[in-house]
Structures are given as structure tokens and as C-alpha cells.
A and B are shown apart, each in its own frame.
Chain A
Amino acid sequence: MNRKVKFLQGNEACVEGALMAGMTFYSGYPITPSTEIAELSAEKLPRIGGKFIQMEDEIAGIAAAIGASLTGAKAMTATSGPGFSLKQENIGYAALTEIPLVIVNVQRGGPSTGLPTAPGQGDLMQAMWGTHGDHPVICLTPDSVKETFDLTVRAFNLAEKYRTPVILLTDEITGHMREKIEIPDLSEIEIINRVKPVKGEAYKAYQVVEGDLVPKMADFGSGFRYHVTGLMHDETGFPSNSTANAGKLMDRLMAKVTDNLDDIIQWEEVETADAEYLIVSYGGTARTAKSAIKTLRAEGIKVGLFRPITVWPFPEKQLFEIGKKMKDIIVAELNYGQMKLEVERVMKGHAPVRFCGKANGEVLTPEELISKFKEVL
């Protein structure tokens, strides 16, 4: 056993997790507040024979990572706000071409250049809907340094398992916060690798066996000469204009996520067993909620927390089961109510859904949340 106790930033824990998951390639572009992820990758990757490259822009940052993944590398890119906007087209490319990839977005404040050094959670909907066209999305959100490590490993595993880009949506709070974490031994961690065809096997790049949804993926250069395109394609990988074929491909892509919700969705509940009121919160803001709940509980108010860890696909079933028993639900987040919309959609009027948040670059304090909570009551 080789466990290591460290005092790390979330961004540093992300790199530690990526390396443990098997990352061998990182390409990106410097942007606050995600830059430590690039810096640490630049230092560590060549030491294990991996590759780091600082590309000329954000678009190239994700493009190179996709190219590397095609050769068999486990690849990651990290960014923040403006960079996440720039990467959107190629996120869709990776989704349609089914190329495993991890994209980290350390969210900052505001639209445009906004508040580069301040936290925000305004990219939640963008993570789901940012690239054009329907596409499968898996997006994970940690609320601590340790969980940043865990979810980075998980992001790689899900990317490899489902052959799809996975977004790790953190924020400036968890990205720059330092906490003690115990990094587990490699033997204690489940590592998933993409399934590859064996040499000599008849191979069609996008063929799935009956009942399965994920095609095998050959490394470029391994003897399977195949075609990859962002056009709609058939099971051979070549472009096809057939609407019947496009429908079949889209159905399968979406089903990779919708048929595996129980495997993909993770959430946390705090003090929900006897709760009459529920706070829904995620990422760095969930820490505010946890603190507020302690104070409110001490005052005898039965309040609990529902924290989506997987934010996309949204934990609908799980939230509804708990939420329908509540007198009131309050959603706490650093934006103008993006997850609130989702909670309202899920609750279908079975419980009133309130909102507590802001998007001015400040963290939400427990006092603000408590005061809003009492106002609502």
C-alpha cells in the first residue's frame, strides 16, 4: 500500500486523480482559475513518459487532446469560462465520434471575461447545452479537494467506458481551496480502460454487438485502418446521409447515457431522513449549504441537503423521491437559478421551489443562505 497524505488545491488534486486514472496526454491553453492543472501536468507528464503541450488557443487545446485519444492515450484538457465557450464545437465532435476525453471547467464569475479570479456556477446549463445539436452529456461536480481527485478518476473511467467526453465541472472555490487529502494506492482504485479490438479481428469502427451500446475502439496506428468523421456515419465510420441511419446513431449515442443512469448518477444526501425542508446545492456552494444546515438543525429546524454529484444527467428520480416529501425546497447556487429550473422541472409542482444565489463573484455565505431560508419560511 502506498497511500500518501497531501495538502492540496482542488486543481492539484485533479491532476493527481488524472495521473492515477492513467492520463498520458494533456493539451490546453492558460486560463485563470484553471492554470494550475496545466502547470502541474506539464511538470508531471514527461516524468512518466506522457506528453504535455501548450497549444495556441483553447480550440486547439481540446482538438489535440481528441487526436491524442485516438492513438490510445488517456487525454485531458482544462479550462475556465471563456475557454469552455471556445471548446464547445469540439466537445460535440468528441461526442459524435465517440472519442474518450476529460474536459475540466473550473468555473469563474460572470459572462465574457467576467471575474477571472472569482467563483461562479454559471456554466451549468452550458455544460449540458453548450455545443450544437443533441448529444450525450456526462458532467460531474465535486465539492471538496478529495472529491475532485475521486471524480477526476471517475471522469476518465466513464469516458473510457462509454466512449464519450466527460466534463468535470468544478469552480474557483474547490479549484483553489486547500485541504488535506489521502491519495489512495493504485490498487484501491477501479481503473476502466476502453475496449479495443484484438489484432486480426474483423473490425467496424462503430459496430456494436447486439444488446451493447459502446463500440470497440482501435488505436490509430495499431493495424485497423478506419475513418473518423464528424459527419453522421454508419457503423463502418464512413459518412452516411441516410436519415434512418442518422436516427439509429443518435438513438444509440443518447442511450449510452439514458440507459445507464444508475451507473452514471451519483448524489449525496445530508440529514434527509427526517427533513421537512430541503436545500439543493452542488460544487463549492454545497459547503455553504452543509454549514447552514448545521446551524439550522441546532435551532431545531429539520432541514437536509440534496447534492447532485453527477449534475448531467440530472438525478431526477432521486431528487423527486426526497423532494416530494418536503414542505419547501431551496436551491443554492452561484448563478441566477440554472439548477433551480431543473429542480422545478423535476418536482412538477409537488413542492415549492425557491432560490438563493448570486453571481457577483462572491461565495454564498451560510448566513446569507440561513437568512434567505428563514425569509422563505
Chain B
Amino acid sequence: MNHPLVESAFRMEKFPHIWCPGCGHGIIMASIARSIEKLGLDKDKVCIVSGIGCSSRAPGYMDYNTLHTTHGRALAFATGVKLANPELEVIVIAGDGDLSAIGGNHLIHAARRNIGLTTICFNNNIYGMTGGQYSPTTPTNEKGTTAPYGNIDKPFDIAQLAIGAGATYAAKTTAYHVPQMDKLIEAAIAHKGFSLVEAISICPTYYGRKNKKGTAVDMMTWLKDNFIDHKVAEKLPLEKKEGKFLMGEFKNVIEPEYTDQYNKIIEQLKK
């Protein structure tokens, strides 16, 4: 028997999904569905938009208004959907390459506008769909099929990038820390304004194999051992947090939301 959430939030006939064994993406997709259910949103008013890549195939499985667009452009399409019909709860699913390389310009501008979109970045540190090329979040010195001698680029911190660009909600979590992920994604969807949750996923097939990270379980264990909530980290002695990665809610403020501001202009012009 299926879990009731699977029956209510997903298009059962579209399974099995395309993701490789051990991929972390399904965990994040399920967390989004749980958050939508928990918030009691009307499924007819939820719109999920994605670009191109492994994570961007998620909307096809999710039983809402779903839009699988061109590479990098999900936020631009989503901006049109949201501005044309602000009643819709618009959630963007994007991979690290989709969101911060080819779509980087749309990310910073959606954040700057503080338009009421929720972006969930499925960050697996690699281009998976095309077979394991390095992405803007591949750590320096790690390998990809296009970085056979080690990546010399510096990686983006996507959550911090969004904050720098003006996002009013930004958080980071991992595919291991599911209860935290649920809380953060729920808060991000409920947030009025541009919100982003960077969810660190795992790609055992390409990133893991290329960089000798072991099995999917090994990679999950690594997430468990190496990410600390930044509020917890504040209280820890230096030696306990050195070399670790910070996660949790980094920003949560309320500022005027774009479609509200536009509607105010419309109302003023009526007078």
C-alpha cells in the first residue's frame, strides 16, 4: 500500500521516476509535497516550475499545475506566471547548474525583486543529466568529466548568493536532515516574498563515483557528519566546527512583495 501522501500529491501512473538508485532528489521532492499538504494549499492553485536537468523532472510526477521549461529559465517563466496570477502559489525546482550557471541572472533578479516565488534548489554539485560535468557548486579540486584533473573554479554558496541578491528568506538543508528540511521548505513556501531553500542532494552515480565518495549510504553519512545548523554552531568550540558546513535558516525578513506592489499601482490608477 502506498503512503497517503504519495496517493494525494503525486501522479502515480508516472512512476517509476527517472532518478538513479541512491539519488537524493526524491527525498527533497517528497519534502516539498509534504510541505504543500501541511500548509493546506489548494492543489489547483499550486504551480511547480522547473528548468532542465535531473531535478527538473520532478514536476512531472507532482499532481499540480506543472511547467517544465527551458534550461535555466524556470524563474523567468515563473515570474510571468506569478505576476499574471498572484493567486497562484508558485514553486520553482532547479538544480545547481540550472539555477546558478545558465539561470544565474534570473536567480539574482527574482531575489532582488522579492517576487513571491519559492525556489528549492536540488544541489548535487554536478551536472547529472549530461553525465557528470562540473557545476558552479562543485567544490574546488573535485573532479567531473570536464574537470579530469580537478576543478579549479571556486564554488558558489547558493543560499548566500540569494541573500546577497536580496532574497528575504534563505535557508540550507540536506537530504539527510529531513525533519529540518520539511520545516524550512514549509516556512519558505509560507513566506511572503522571494524565498530559497538550498537542499544539498547526493549524486552517487556521477559525483560520488568520480570523486570516490563511496556508496549512497556513505554519502548520506557524510552529509550527517559535515553539516551543522548555524545556530548550533554558534555555541560550539572552534575545533568542533572547523571544516564543517553551515545549514539552517539564514534569513527571514518581511519586505514589500513585488506583485503586491504592482497591484498597489493598479489600485492607485483606478482613483
A-side residues, CB < 8 A to B, are: 24-25, 27, 46-47, 49, 51, 53, 55-57, 59-60, 63-73, 75, 89-90, 93, 219-223, 225-231, 238-239
Contacts and interface: CB of A to CB of B under 8 A. Distances in A.
Nearest to B43: A225
Interface stretch (B28-36, B63-71, B249-257): B63-71
A64 B81 CA distance: 7
Nearest to B50: A229
B76 A226 contact: no
B84 A68 contact: yes
A68 B81 contact: yes
A65 B65 CA distance: 17
A56 B105 CA distance: 7
Interface stretch (B119-127, B218-226, B261-269): B261-269
B45 A230 contact: no
B106 interface: yes
B84 A49 contact: no
Nearest to B57: A239
Contact of A46 (B60, B106, B265): B265
Given A46-B266, A67-B49, A229-B60, A53 B65 contact: no
Given A59-B76, A228-B68, A46 B262 contact: yes
A185 to B, nearest CB: 23
B189 interface: no
Contact of A51 (B49, B65, B83): B83
B123 to A, nearest CB: 22
Contacts of B68: 227-231, 239
B70 A239 contact: no
B77 interface: yes
Interface residues of B, number: 37
Contacts of B79: 27, 53, 55, 60, 63-64, 67
A70 B76 contact: no
Nearest to A67: B80
29 contacts: A25-B84, A46-B262, A46-B266, A46-B269, A49-B266, A53-B79, A53-B83, A53-B262, A59-B76, A60-B76, A60-B105, A63-B76, A63-B77, A64-B80, A66-B80, A67-B79, A67-B80, A68-B81, A70-B80, A219-B85, A220-B47, A220-B65, A221-B44, A221-B65, A221-B87, A223-B44, A225-B63, A226-B65, A226-B66
Contact of B80 (A25, A222, A223): A25
Contacts, number: 128
Nearest to A64: B80
Contact of B73 (A47, A59, A221, A229): A59
B14 interface: yes
Contacts of B106: 56, 60
A377 to B, nearest CB: 51
A65 B44 contact: no
A64 B76 contact: yes
Ranked nearest first, the 3 interchain pairs of A and B with the lowest CB-CB distance are A67-B80, A64-B80, A63-B76
A55 B76 contact: yes
A79 B192 CA distance: 32
Contact of B67 (A75, A228, A239): A228
Given A25-B83, A64-B77, A75-B80, 9 more contacts: A25-B80, A27-B79, A46-B265, A67-B77, A69-B80, A90-B70, A219-B85, A221-B88, A223-B44
Contacts of B45: 221
B230 interface: no
Nearest to A90: B70
B73 A63 contact: yes
Nearest to A52: B262
A63 B88 contact: no
A57 B73 contact: no
A65 to B, nearest CB: 6
B59 interface: yes
B78 interface: yes
A93 B106 CA distance: 18
A219 B109 CA distance: 26
Contacts of A46: 262, 265-266, 269
Contacts of B67: 67, 70, 220, 227-228
